[in-house]
Chains A and B, each alone.
Chain A
Amino acid sequence: MHKREILLGLLLLVIVLLGYILPYTVFTNVAKWYGSFLVWTVLALIVIGINYFLTRNWGDDQ
């Protein structure tokens, strides 16, 4: 695996873990739109970004 792939993969893992941890701890009593709803939305957008960078160099060849 490329170094970049490993780094982005680890970052992805951290984001997934945050998706479990944050809503059930810090935000468990925040009954607002900027509570868990926003947390998951932001995490999802970060995941889209990570995928963008993971796949940026996939070529046209073959």
Chain B
Amino acid sequence: MSPLLVWGMIIIYVIFAILLAFLSKNGKQNSMVGYFLGDRKLNGFVSALSYSATTYSAFMLVGLAGLTYNGGVGAYGFEIIYFMGVSLVAIFGPRFWVVGKKYGYVTPSEMLGDRYQSKLVAIVIAVSSCLFLIPYSAVQLTGIGYLLQGVTGGAISYTTGVIIATLLALLFTFIAGIRSVAWTDSLQALIMIVTSIIVVILIINGLGGLTGFFDQLQSNQPESLTVPGNGFFNFWTFLGLTIPWFFFSISNPQVSQRLYMPESLKSLRHMLMGFLIFGFIYTIVSVVWGFSASILYPDLENADLATPMLLSSDLVPPILGVIVMVGIMAAAISTIDSILLTLASMFSRDVVGNLTKQSTDKKQLTIGKLVIPIIAILAFLFAQLQLDLIAVLSVASSAGLIVSVPAIIGAFFWKKGSAIAVILSVSVSSIVVILLEFFKLVPFGLKSGIWGLLLSTSIFIIVSFMSKAPIHKAEEFLEYIKVTLSKSKA
């Protein structure tokens, strides 16, 4: 791809995105709820698109296509199991939403701290989220760097790509907090869904229509249409990959925080249904890309090249290829800027807010805004260093965040859960997950995520039985949810 075209498209995108970010300014962003939650007034349409953009990072169209290229239809199953897990929003979404409004929660960790009546709970969950999500952001940046470098033949260097992405992520958060992030996310999601579908149609047509497409798969590489197929997705690998992702929608704070933002339960519903439709289409698109690349270019050394190769192929007009390429960059940014905001809000509200006396809302907001660039710089530096440990933490992020799932489920469905049980289950299991990933251990053939979930669940239950739970708070909390939801869903 011509570097001039890529640069031109990046500039056009940036102009539109900045314009939209300024237009999104509405009301004041001078409180924690205003800046980090958009005053709990996001409408369903923006919520749905922004939720999709935040969830689907750059690696959907690169990584999932690559995974399909390597492992066949199992990659599709992996993503569909994750997709099914988003149904957890239908169960937990309204519960997060009503207590968020009632008690004024800004972060999921704050909610857990209050529910279990322990500041340390909030601190431990916030810190473990930072531990896994900063490296995850760093790896997103690394991805953009390689991608831009790759498609322009080095004309846009790795570092330039990383710097552009970091600066844009910072800019989008600063203009109006979550509002500007949500609106630029929506722009990105809309561009991507439209252009990537066009690419699919062009490619399928080029391969002789749907019949031709499947005929070629069936005759040239039949194993790609089954699991375990070529062995890539043996059952235990599949289970180990899918379990942590199944719980993504409640375990990852950058998406569970979104449950506080819609203006009504109806908007929350639109967010969920909108996401499901978007996600279903996007999943099929990414998988078809991977399959198409395996038909067109069966001998790639690196499966992550599947998407770049496809976009540079004769079947896709160059201008469309460049739009999608910039869209992939924007997808990474839309994931990073949301993570930046979430981590900053957790750090200022749950860590600093709980460790200092007289922490006012205004002070927390100032600290939160100061922390955003610091986290961004950390992610940038990690991306530059390309340390092994960073890659390990990033891979471990979905497995590492799963350890808070028992505490989250317990908060809404089990009165006996105690604070010390949450603290021990989250901290011990996080450390075990990191050790398993670092030393590449797979005890009994089970991946770290499964161990993390088993261990954190056992510790949570056993320690809860041995300690005292905040029964009074639990009853009040659960009763309020019950009464409010039965009223509003009547």
Residues facing A in B474-490 (CB within 8 A) are 486, 488-490
Give Cα A59–Cα B283 distance, bound, in whole angstroms: 30
B471 on the A face (CB < 8 A): no
Give Cα A23–Cα B225 distance, bound, in whole angstroms: 10
Q: Is the interface of B mostly helix, strand, loop or mixed?
A: helix
B172 on the A face (CB < 8 A): no
Beyond A2-B489, A27-B226, A33-B218, whether A62 also contacts B265 by CB under 8 A is: yes
Give 5 A-B contacts (CB < 8 Å), ordered by A residue.
Answer: A16-B246, A23-B74, A57-B490, A58-B94, A59-B264
The smallest C-beta distance from B484 to any residue of chain A, in angstroms, reads: 8
The digit string for B69-82, where 1 denotes a CB below 8 A from any CB of A, is 00001101100110
The interface of chain A, by Cβ under 8 A from chain B, is 2, 5, 9, 12, 15-16, 19-20, 23-24, 27-33, 35-37, 40-41, 43-45, 47-48, 50-52, 54-55, 57-62
Q: Are A52 and B273 in contact (CB under 8 A)?
A: yes
B101 touches which one: A28, A57, A58, A62 (CB < 8 A)? A62
Q: Are A5 and B91 in contact (CB under 8 A)?
A: yes
A36 touches which one: B73, B90, B242, B490 (CB < 8 A)? B73
B232 on the A face (CB < 8 A): no
The smallest C-beta distance from A50 to any residue of chain B, in angstroms, reads: 7
Q: Are A43 and B84 in contact (CB under 8 A)?
A: yes
Beyond A37-B76, A43-B84, A58-B94, whether A48 also contacts B226 by CB under 8 A is: no
Q: Are B84 and A47 in contact (CB under 8 A)?
A: yes
Give Cα A60–Cα B73 distance, bound, in whole angstroms: 40
Give Cα A62–Cα B40 distance, bound, in whole angstroms: 12
The smallest C-beta distance from A46 to any residue of chain B, in angstroms, reads: 9
Give Cα A32–Cα B224 distance, bound, in whole angstroms: 10
B395 on the A face (CB < 8 A): no
Give Cα A23–Cα B265 distance, bound, in whole angstroms: 36
The smallest C-beta distance from B480 to any residue of chain A, in angstroms, reads: 13
18 more A-B residue pairs beyond the given contacts A5-B91, A16-B246, A36-B74, with a C-beta to C-beta distance below 8 A:
A19-B77, A20-B242, A23-B226, A28-B226, A28-B228, A31-B223, A40-B73, A40-B76, A43-B84, A45-B280, A47-B87, A51-B273, A54-B90, A55-B272, A59-B264, A59-B265, A59-B266, A59-B488
Complex A-B, nearest 10 residue pairs according to Cβ-Cβ distance, in ascending order: A31-B222, A58-B265, A54-B90, A33-B214, A58-B269, A55-B269, A40-B80, A31-B225, A60-B266, A59-B488
